[in-house]
Protein backbone atom coordinates (compact mmCIF):
# COMPACT_ATOMS: atom_id res chain seq x y z
CA UNK A 1 0.00 0.00 0.00
CA UNK A 2 1.53 3.30 -1.06
CA UNK A 3 0.62 6.67 0.41
CA UNK A 4 0.83 9.75 -1.78
CA UNK A 5 0.37 13.32 -0.61
CA UNK A 6 -0.66 15.47 -3.47
CA UNK A 7 0.33 18.92 -4.68
CA UNK A 8 -1.85 20.34 -7.41
CA UNK A 9 -0.15 21.66 -10.53
CA UNK A 10 -2.17 24.23 -12.44
CA UNK A 11 -0.58 24.64 -15.86
CA UNK A 12 -2.60 22.03 -17.73
CA UNK A 13 -6.36 21.82 -17.60
CA UNK A 14 -7.93 18.98 -15.67
CA UNK A 15 -9.72 17.80 -18.78
CA UNK A 16 -6.51 17.59 -20.80
CA UNK A 17 -4.71 15.70 -18.05
CA UNK A 18 -7.69 13.35 -17.70
CA UNK A 19 -7.41 12.52 -21.40
CA UNK A 20 -3.71 11.75 -20.97
CA UNK A 21 -4.50 9.49 -18.01
CA UNK A 22 -7.16 7.79 -20.06
CA UNK A 23 -4.72 7.09 -22.87
CA UNK A 24 -2.27 5.52 -20.42
CA UNK A 25 -5.01 3.38 -18.88
CA UNK A 26 -6.08 2.35 -22.38
CA UNK A 27 -2.53 1.32 -23.30
CA UNK A 28 -2.55 -0.93 -20.21
CA UNK A 29 -5.93 -2.17 -21.40
CA UNK A 30 -7.50 -1.55 -17.98
CA UNK A 31 -11.19 -0.99 -17.35
CA UNK A 32 -11.18 2.05 -15.06
CA UNK A 33 -14.20 2.91 -12.93
CA UNK A 34 -14.56 6.12 -10.92
CA UNK A 35 -16.78 5.34 -7.92
CA UNK A 36 -18.64 8.32 -6.48
CA UNK A 37 -21.14 8.59 -3.62
CA UNK A 38 -21.99 10.37 -0.38
CA UNK A 39 -19.98 9.54 2.74
CA UNK A 40 -21.16 6.21 4.08
CA UNK A 41 -23.19 5.17 1.04
CA UNK A 42 -21.15 1.98 0.76
CA UNK A 43 -18.35 2.66 -1.73
CA UNK A 44 -15.79 0.56 0.14
CA UNK A 45 -18.26 -2.24 0.88
CA UNK A 46 -19.23 -2.49 -2.78
CA UNK A 47 -15.57 -2.51 -3.82
CA UNK A 48 -15.06 -5.37 -1.33
CA UNK A 49 -17.86 -7.34 -3.02
CA UNK A 50 -16.45 -6.70 -6.50
CA UNK A 51 -12.97 -7.74 -5.37
CA UNK A 52 -14.23 -10.91 -3.66
CA UNK A 53 -16.09 -11.93 -6.82
CA UNK A 54 -13.49 -10.98 -9.45
CA UNK A 55 -10.08 -11.32 -7.82
CA UNK A 56 -9.51 -14.88 -9.01
CA UNK A 57 -10.55 -14.02 -12.56
CA UNK A 58 -8.85 -10.67 -13.22
CA UNK A 59 -6.04 -8.50 -11.85
CA UNK A 60 -7.41 -5.64 -9.78
CA UNK A 61 -5.91 -2.38 -8.55
CA UNK A 62 -7.71 -0.06 -6.17
CA UNK A 63 -6.92 3.65 -6.05
CA UNK A 64 -8.28 4.95 -2.79
CA UNK A 65 -9.09 8.66 -2.44
CA UNK A 66 -9.52 10.15 1.02
CA UNK A 67 -9.03 13.58 2.48
CA UNK A 68 -6.79 12.00 5.08
CA UNK A 69 -6.06 8.66 6.66
CA UNK A 70 -5.92 5.14 5.29
CA UNK A 71 -8.92 3.51 6.97
CA UNK A 72 -10.39 2.10 3.75
CA UNK A 73 -7.03 1.26 2.14
CA UNK A 74 -6.12 -0.95 5.08
CA UNK A 75 -9.52 -2.61 4.90
CA UNK A 76 -9.19 -3.28 1.16
CA UNK A 77 -5.52 -4.38 1.29
CA UNK A 78 -6.65 -7.26 3.52
CA UNK A 79 -8.43 -8.74 0.49
CA UNK A 80 -5.06 -9.35 -1.12
CA UNK A 81 -5.33 -6.81 -3.94
CA UNK A 82 -2.99 -3.91 -4.66
CA UNK A 83 -4.09 -0.58 -3.20
CA UNK A 84 -2.67 2.90 -3.75
CA UNK A 85 -3.77 5.62 -1.35
CA UNK A 86 -4.22 9.24 -2.42
CA UNK A 87 -4.72 11.72 0.41
CA UNK A 88 -6.27 14.88 -1.00
CA UNK A 89 -5.50 16.83 2.21
CA UNK A 90 -8.10 19.56 1.81
CA UNK A 91 -9.61 18.80 -1.59
CA UNK A 92 -13.13 17.37 -1.58
CA UNK A 93 -12.59 15.30 -4.74
CA UNK A 94 -9.94 13.56 -6.81
CA UNK A 95 -8.78 15.33 -9.93
CA UNK A 96 -6.79 14.23 -12.98
CA UNK A 97 -3.50 15.59 -11.59
CA UNK A 98 -3.72 13.57 -8.41
CA UNK A 99 -4.54 10.50 -10.44
CA UNK A 100 -1.63 11.22 -12.81
CA UNK A 101 0.77 11.03 -9.88
CA UNK A 102 -0.32 7.45 -9.29
CA UNK A 103 0.37 6.30 -12.86
CA UNK A 104 4.19 5.98 -12.66
CA UNK A 105 3.73 3.73 -9.62
CA UNK A 106 1.65 1.25 -11.59
CA UNK A 107 4.19 -1.37 -12.63
CA UNK A 108 1.89 -4.31 -13.39
CA UNK A 109 -0.95 -4.71 -15.88
CA UNK A 110 -4.36 -4.58 -14.25
CA UNK A 111 -7.59 -5.63 -15.94
CA UNK A 112 -9.73 -3.62 -13.56
CA UNK A 113 -8.87 -0.38 -11.76
CA UNK A 114 -11.44 0.75 -9.21
CA UNK A 115 -11.01 4.33 -8.03
CA UNK A 116 -12.82 5.19 -4.81
CA UNK A 117 -13.37 8.94 -4.86
CA UNK A 118 -13.77 11.16 -1.78
CA UNK A 119 -17.22 10.79 -0.21
CA UNK A 120 -19.15 13.63 -1.80
CA UNK A 121 -22.14 13.65 -4.12
CA UNK A 122 -21.26 16.97 -5.74
CA UNK A 123 -17.66 17.91 -6.58
CA UNK A 124 -16.15 14.56 -7.66
CA UNK A 125 -18.64 14.49 -10.54
CA UNK A 126 -17.12 17.69 -11.95
CA UNK A 127 -13.60 16.29 -12.40
CA UNK A 128 -12.78 13.63 -14.96
CA UNK A 129 -9.76 11.64 -13.84
CA UNK A 130 -9.22 9.31 -16.81
CA UNK A 131 -11.96 6.80 -16.08
CA UNK A 132 -13.88 4.72 -18.59
CA UNK A 133 -16.98 5.72 -16.70
CA UNK A 134 -18.45 6.83 -13.41
CA UNK A 135 -20.32 4.51 -11.08
CA UNK A 136 -22.65 6.31 -8.67
CA UNK A 137 -23.95 4.76 -5.48
CA UNK A 138 -27.18 5.93 -3.84
CA UNK A 139 -27.96 4.31 -0.48
CA UNK A 140 -31.56 3.92 0.65
CA UNK A 141 -31.26 5.92 3.92
CA UNK A 142 -30.26 8.98 1.86
CA UNK A 143 -33.71 9.17 0.28
CA UNK A 144 -35.05 8.63 -3.23
CA UNK A 145 -35.05 12.37 -4.02
CA UNK A 146 -31.27 12.73 -4.15
CA UNK A 147 -30.88 12.44 -7.96
CA UNK A 148 -33.11 15.52 -8.26
CA UNK A 149 -31.07 17.49 -5.75
CA UNK A 150 -27.59 16.42 -6.88
CA UNK A 151 -28.22 15.96 -10.60
CA UNK A 152 -24.76 16.15 -12.19
CA UNK A 153 -23.42 12.84 -10.89
CA UNK A 154 -26.57 10.97 -11.91
CA UNK A 155 -26.52 12.71 -15.27
CA UNK A 156 -22.96 11.51 -15.93
CA UNK A 157 -22.87 8.05 -14.32
CA UNK A 158 -23.07 5.01 -16.58
CA UNK A 159 -23.96 2.77 -13.63
CA UNK A 160 -26.07 3.67 -10.60
CA UNK A 161 -26.08 1.17 -7.75
CA UNK A 162 -28.89 1.54 -5.22
CA UNK A 163 -27.26 0.14 -2.06
CA UNK A 164 -28.52 -0.88 1.38
CA UNK A 165 -31.64 -2.60 0.06
CA UNK A 166 -31.59 -4.50 3.39
CA UNK A 167 -32.72 -1.23 5.06
CA UNK A 168 -35.74 -0.73 2.78
CA UNK A 169 -38.25 -1.87 5.43
CA UNK A 170 -36.92 0.75 7.86
CA UNK A 171 -36.46 3.87 5.72
CA UNK A 172 -38.68 6.05 3.54
CA UNK A 173 -37.32 5.10 0.15
CA UNK A 174 -39.22 4.02 -2.94
CA UNK A 175 -37.17 2.07 -5.48
CA UNK A 176 -39.64 3.12 -8.19
CA UNK A 177 -39.34 6.80 -7.30
CA UNK A 178 -35.55 6.55 -7.14
CA UNK A 179 -35.39 4.88 -10.56
CA UNK A 180 -37.70 7.51 -12.01
CA UNK A 181 -35.54 10.29 -10.56
CA UNK A 182 -32.35 8.70 -11.89
CA UNK A 183 -33.84 8.07 -15.34
CA UNK A 184 -35.03 11.67 -15.55
CA UNK A 185 -31.37 12.77 -15.32
CA UNK A 186 -30.01 9.93 -17.42
CA UNK A 187 -32.24 7.62 -19.39
CA UNK A 188 -29.29 5.37 -20.32
CA UNK A 189 -28.09 4.67 -16.76
CA UNK A 190 -27.77 0.99 -15.82
CA UNK A 191 -29.42 0.69 -12.42
CA UNK A 192 -28.79 -2.16 -9.97
CA UNK A 193 -30.28 -2.72 -6.51
CA UNK A 194 -28.01 -4.44 -4.01
CA UNK A 195 -27.16 -4.86 -0.38
CA UNK A 196 -23.41 -4.85 0.12
CA UNK A 197 -24.08 -5.98 3.68
CA UNK A 198 -26.05 -9.14 2.85
CA UNK A 199 -24.48 -9.51 -0.66
CA UNK A 200 -28.00 -9.67 -2.10
CA UNK A 201 -28.76 -8.50 -5.64
CA UNK A 202 -25.23 -8.53 -7.07
CA UNK A 203 -25.73 -11.24 -9.74
CA UNK A 204 -26.97 -8.90 -12.49
CA UNK A 205 -24.24 -6.42 -11.68
CA UNK A 206 -21.49 -9.05 -11.81
CA UNK A 207 -22.83 -10.27 -15.16
CA UNK A 208 -22.72 -6.72 -16.50
CA UNK A 209 -19.17 -6.21 -15.21
CA UNK A 210 -18.08 -9.52 -16.68
CA UNK A 211 -19.29 -8.40 -20.12
CA UNK A 212 -17.49 -5.09 -19.73
CA UNK A 213 -14.24 -6.80 -18.78
CA UNK A 214 -14.51 -9.21 -21.71
CA UNK A 215 -15.23 -6.37 -24.13
CA UNK A 216 -12.15 -4.51 -22.90
CA UNK A 217 -10.03 -7.65 -23.26
CA UNK A 218 -11.27 -8.19 -26.83
CA UNK A 219 -10.52 -4.60 -27.70
CA UNK A 220 -6.99 -5.08 -26.37
CA UNK A 221 -6.45 -8.21 -28.49
CA UNK A 222 -7.68 -6.41 -31.61
CA UNK A 223 -5.21 -3.61 -30.94
CA UNK A 224 -2.36 -6.04 -30.22
* Nearest CA-CA partner of 135 in 161, 103, 155: 161
CB 84 within 8 A of CB 70: no
Q: Is 122 among the residues that bind its own copies (CB under 8 A)?
A: yes
User: With respect to its own copies, which residue has the nearer C-beta, 71 or 215?
Assistant: 71
Burial tier of 178 (Cβ tally within 10 Å: 0-12, 13-18, 19+): buried
Residues 6+ apart with CB under 8 A from 114: 33, 35, 47, 50, 51, 60, 61, 62, 63
Residues 138-167 that bind its own copies (CB under 8 A): 139, 141-143, 145-146, 148-152, 164, 166-167
Q: How far is the CB of 222 from its own copies (least distance, A)?
A: 39
Q: x-or-dash pattern for its own copies, window 165-194, by CB under 8 A? A: -xx--xxx----------------------
Q: Is 38 among the residues that bind its own copies (CB under 8 A)?
A: yes
Show the DSSP H helices in 61-202 as ranges.
71-77, 96-102, 146-149, 151-156, 175-185
Q: How far is the CB of 156 from its own copies (least distance, A)?
A: 13
Residues forming the site for its own copies (CB under 8 A):
38-40, 66-69, 71, 90, 92, 118-123, 126, 139, 141-143, 145-146, 148-152, 164, 166-167, 170-172, 197
Amino acid sequence: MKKINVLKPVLVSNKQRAQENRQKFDRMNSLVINIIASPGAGKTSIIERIVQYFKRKVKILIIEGDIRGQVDSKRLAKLGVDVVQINTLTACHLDAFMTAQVLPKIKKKYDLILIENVGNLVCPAEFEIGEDYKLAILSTPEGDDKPMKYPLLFHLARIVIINKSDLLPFVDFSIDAAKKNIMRENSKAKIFEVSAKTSGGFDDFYLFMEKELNAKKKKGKTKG
